[in-house]
Amino acid sequence: MGKKNISLLIPAYNEAGNISALIQEITTALAACQRYEFTVLFVDDGSTDNTLSILQEAAVPDFPIRVIKLSRNFGKEMALTAGLQSLNCDAVIILDSDLQHPPKYIPQLLEKWQEGYDIVSTTRQKIDDQSWTRRIGSRLFYSILNTISEFKMEPGTTDFRLLDRVVIDALKKFTERNRLFRGLIDWMGFQKTTIKFDAPARLSGQQRYSYSRLFRLALNGFMSFSLMPLKLAGYLGVSVILIFGGLLTFMLVDKFGSNAFGFSNIAFIIVSNVIMNGVVLGCIGLVA
């Protein structure tokens, strides 16, 4: 039987300062995994520095290096999606190009895969250079997501993972454009296990995700994995109907009774209109 094919999938956006050190560390890590055949696939996510030319010229004797170039910067989630679509291997290991997902853990990921797991995830025990705002933001994201969504995502999980071919094939069937990759993987099921690792500081450059991009990513996560926002609209609708329905009843009783308040016709129209809006919101909740 031939050796199993493993691909490393690595998104890169303006990572010129990290590529050669990364390839070096991968070479060292893979030297300990002689029973597998490796291909390293970089996805250049529309870099504006010389990442692409460094990648195209990179060559090592131990494994082939392939490069996919995206036509512009699409973001990491889409870069991973593009890379996965082009894979035909027994398993893929996804890692970042800034060395925050240290290649030295690759043998451990492969060991777990050999034990029969389809997904081997990783959780960070500590991150060397994470600011307190990002740390709090990350905690907040997981606690909100885990409160409102139908499934649980473990805090601290990363995209540094191994996926078996069955998982890759399942992932290829998803067509969402706005996706939270690791959320999708967690949602899908399969046999999974997790290993822990320490994330060092980024080797070179700044984090590529600004706060506004992280916020959008979080919002995508909430909307993809929870019906709660739609259900909230429904609850709001029901509350509006109850409160303003009560008010309208009171106004009608007053008008045809003592007429102490003397509500004008405009007041009736406005209150009826608000109730109709409540009905629309309530229907959205029903659809959800």
Told to check if 220 binds ligand UDP by CB under 6 A, we report no
| 51 contacts: CB under 8 Å, gap ≥ 6 | 12, 13, 14, 15, 16, 19, 44
Among 98, 118, 164, 186, binds ligand UDP (CB under 6 A): 98
Q: Which is nearer to ligand UDP, 127 or 275 (CB)?
A: 127
Residue among 7, 14, 47, 100 that touches Mg ion (CB under 5 A): 100
Residues whose CB is less than 8 angstroms from the CB of residue 47 and which lie 6 or more positions away in sequence, other chains included? 12, 13, 14, 15, 16, 73
Least spacing, CB of residue 148 vs ligand UDP, in Å: 23
Q: Which stretch binds ligand UDP (CB under 6 A): 61-69, 74-82, 220-228, 256-264?
A: 74-82
Q: How far is the CB of 17 from Mg ion (least distance, A)?
A: 13
Query: Among residues 179 and 202, whose Cβ is nearest to Mg ion?
Result: 202
List the x/- string, 153-182, binding to ligand UDP by CB under 6 A: ------------------------------
8 binds ligand UDP (CB under 6 A): no
| CB nearer Mg ion, residue 29 or residue 33 | 29
Q: Does 81 bind ligand UDP (CB under 6 A)?
A: no
Residue among 156, 157, 288 at smallest CA distance from 226: 288
Find out whether 240 and 281 touch, Cβ atoms under 8 Å. yes
User: For the stretch 259-285, what's the b/e string if a residue is b when 16 or more beta carbons lie within 10 angstroms of its beta carbon?
Assistant: eeeebeeeeeeebeebbeebeebbebb
Tell the residue number behind the tokens 């926002």, with chain if given: 229
Alpha-helical regions (H) of 48-92: 51-57, 76-85
Q: Please, what is the minimum distance in Å from the beta carbon of residue 244 to Mg ion?
A: 50
| Six token digits for residue 168 | 């890759």
Query: Does residue number 77 form part of the binding site for ligand UDP (CB under 6 A)?
Result: no
Q: Tokens representing 47?
A: 């870099």
With CB under 6 A as the rule, give the number of residues binding ligand UDP. Answer: 17
**Contacts with Mg ion, residue ranges (CB under 5 A):** 98, 100, 202
